[in-house]
Amino acid sequence: MKKLLCMAVFAGFLTTNAQNTFPVPTGNVGIGTLTPSEALEVVGTVKAKFAFFNNSLPDGTIFIDAADRGAQTQLLGAGTDSNGQPLMAFFDFPQSNIDAKATIWFHLEDRNDAARLRFIAQANGATNYKIYNKSQESVYSLYENSDNVYVQMPKENSYVTIGTNSFNDNGELYNLTVNGKVRAHSVKVYTDWADYVFEEDYNLPTLEEVENHIKTHGHLKDIPSAKEVENNGVELGEMNKLLLQKIEELTLYTIELKKEIDELKAKK
C-alpha cells in the first residue's frame, strides 16, 4: 500500500506543476528503496545540470558545542569512514560562539577516520591548507593571512624538486633540488669554521710545500680541482670554510714575513 501511495504521489508530481512540490507534508520519499531514511533517498545514480545546497546559518548563531555546529552546518558529505562519518565533507560555519569569524571548512578523511586534507578559509581572515600522513602528522602546510604566506614541510625527510624529478646526487639526498638558476638577496649556511688554523698545534705548511703541491696537482691543498667541481659541484658552506682556511694561512705567512722584514731592518 505504501509503495502504491508513493508511486501515485510521484505520478501526480510528474503530471502537475504544483510549484514543483510533492503534496505530502510529512514522510520520506525513496527512489529504488521502500525504506527511505531521509526526505529523499535515491538508490542509484542521480544526474543533474546543477545542484544547490543552501543551509547557511546567519552570523551570531549559538551552538551547544562543536558537534552541534558540525551537525547544523554541513552542506555536503560523501563516503563513510569507520565511524560512519563522511570521507569528504564541506561545512559553512557562521560567526558564532565557537568561531570568531565565519569560516568554510573542507576535509578529506581516509576509511580509518584519519584526517588527510584540510582546507579552511575565514571570511575577512586567513586561509589554511594542510596535508596529513597516516600517522596524523602535518607533512605540508600553506597558511596566509594577507600580510604573510607560510609554506611548511616540517618532517626532516621532505624533498622539493624544481625542474627535475630527482633529489638524489650520487647517493646523497638533498631537501631542495633545482635544475636551473637560483636568485636570492641573501643565503645563510650553517657549518663549522676554520679558526683551527690559529691554534698552536695547527700544522701550517711551509711555502715550499705549498709551491710543490701547486706544481704537482695544479691547485691548492685541500681545495678541490676544477674537474672535481665540474663533476660534483661544491658545498657552499664547506667551500667558504676552505677559502677562509687559506686566507688565515696566508695571514700567518704574512705575519711571519713581517717579523723577518722587521728583523732585517733592525740589523741595519
Give tens-digit pLDDT for 113-126.
999 999 999 999 99
**Does 51 fall in a domain?**
no
- Tens digits of per-residue pLDDT, 147-165? 999 999 999 999 999 999 9
**Does 86 fall in a domain?**
yes
Q: What is d(CA 66, CA 84) in angstroms, rounded to the nearest whole number? A: 18
pLDDT for res 11: 52
Virtual torsion, Cα 235, 236, 241, 246, nearest 10 deg: 90
Q: What is d(CA 57, CA 156) in angstroms, rounded to the nearest whole number? A: 42
As a 3-state breakdown, the chain gives helix, strand, coil percent values, each rounded to 5, of 30, 25, 50
User: Is 168 found in the same domain as 142?
Assistant: no
Instruction: Kindly report whether the global pTM for this prediction surpasses the value 0.75.
Output: no
Q: What is d(CA 100, CA 221) in angstroms, rounded to the nearest whole number? A: 64
Q: Which band of pLDDT confidence, cut at 50, 70 and 90, is reported for residue 96?
A: very high
**Does 109 fall in a domain?**
yes
For 120-140, letters b (16+ CB in 10 Å) and e give bbbeeeeebbbebeeeeeeeb
Q: Is the pLDDT of residue 262 over 50?
A: yes
Say how many domains are in the chain. 4
pLDDT for res 258: 93
Q: Is the pLDDT of residue 10 over 70?
A: no
Q: Return all residues near 198 (Cβ < 8 A) that are at least 6 apart.
A: 248, 252
* Mean pLDDT computed over every residue of the chain: 89
Q: Is the pLDDT of residue 18 over 60?
A: no
**Does 47 fall in a domain?**
no
pLDDT for res 110: 95
**Does 32 fall in a domain?**
yes
pLDDT for res 19: 54
Question: What residues make up the domain containing 25?
Answer: 2-42
**Does 50 fall in a domain?**
no
Q: Is the pLDDT of residue 250 over 60?
A: yes
pLDDT for res 1: 45
User: Is 104 found in the same domain as 75?
Assistant: yes
Q: Is the pLDDT of residue 233 over 50?
A: yes
Q: How far is CA 204 from the centre of its chain?
A: 48
User: Is 143 found in the same domain as 87?
Assistant: yes
Q: Is the pLDDT of residue 12 over 80?
A: no
Q: What is d(CA 69, CA 93) in angstroms, rounded to the nearest whole number? A: 7
* Helix (H/G/I), strand (E/B), else coil: 142: strand
Cell of 172: 646523497
